[in-house]
Amino acid sequence: MATLEQCMSALEGFVGKLAANPAAQGLDRTVSCRLTDLQQVVQGRLASGSAHDVTAVPESPSVPKADIRFTMTSDDLLELTAGQLSFGSAWASGRVKLEAGLRDMLRLRSLL
């Protein structure tokens, strides 16, 4: 199991890469990643070509829902960001869950 600090760093890099992609130009969305094994939600904002205000909070029903929501284990997050795990295969096998509006899903398809 990865540490919360490792996950925060990995997620900042992951969201930063998404934001820097030309297909994400003009995208301004809240993003969260629920880490099931750590019972934490890392949340932030994807805007202006980078990740902003990335923080971790304990998982609870009172955590506001982000526009784009990922759910996975801490180890899967580290494998995804290190390039050891393909997003497509992880999503297809259920290791990674993605929730977003249809418009965001279409846009993310070209980013992931």
For residue 101, give the CATH number of its domain: 3.30.1050.10
> How confident is residue 44, by pLDDT bands cut at 50, 70 and 90?
confident
Please say whether the beta carbons of 39 and 59 come within 8 A.
Answer: yes
pTM for this one? 0.85
> Closest Cα to residue 35, out of 2, 62, 84?
2
Domain assignment present for residue 61? The answer is yes
What is the rounded end-to-end Cα distance, in angstroms, of the chain? 24
State the total domains in the chain.
1
Q: What is the largest CA-CA distance in the chain?
A: 35
Domain assignment present for residue 51? The answer is yes
Print the domain residue range for 55: 4-106
CA–CA distance, 30 with 8 (Å, rounded to integer): 15
- The pLDDT > 70 percentage for the chain reads 96
- Detail the DSSP E strand segments found in the chain: 29-35, 40-47, 50-58, 68-72, 97-100
Interval 67-112: pLDDT, tens: 989 999 999 999 988 889 888 899 899 999 999 888 877 777 655 6
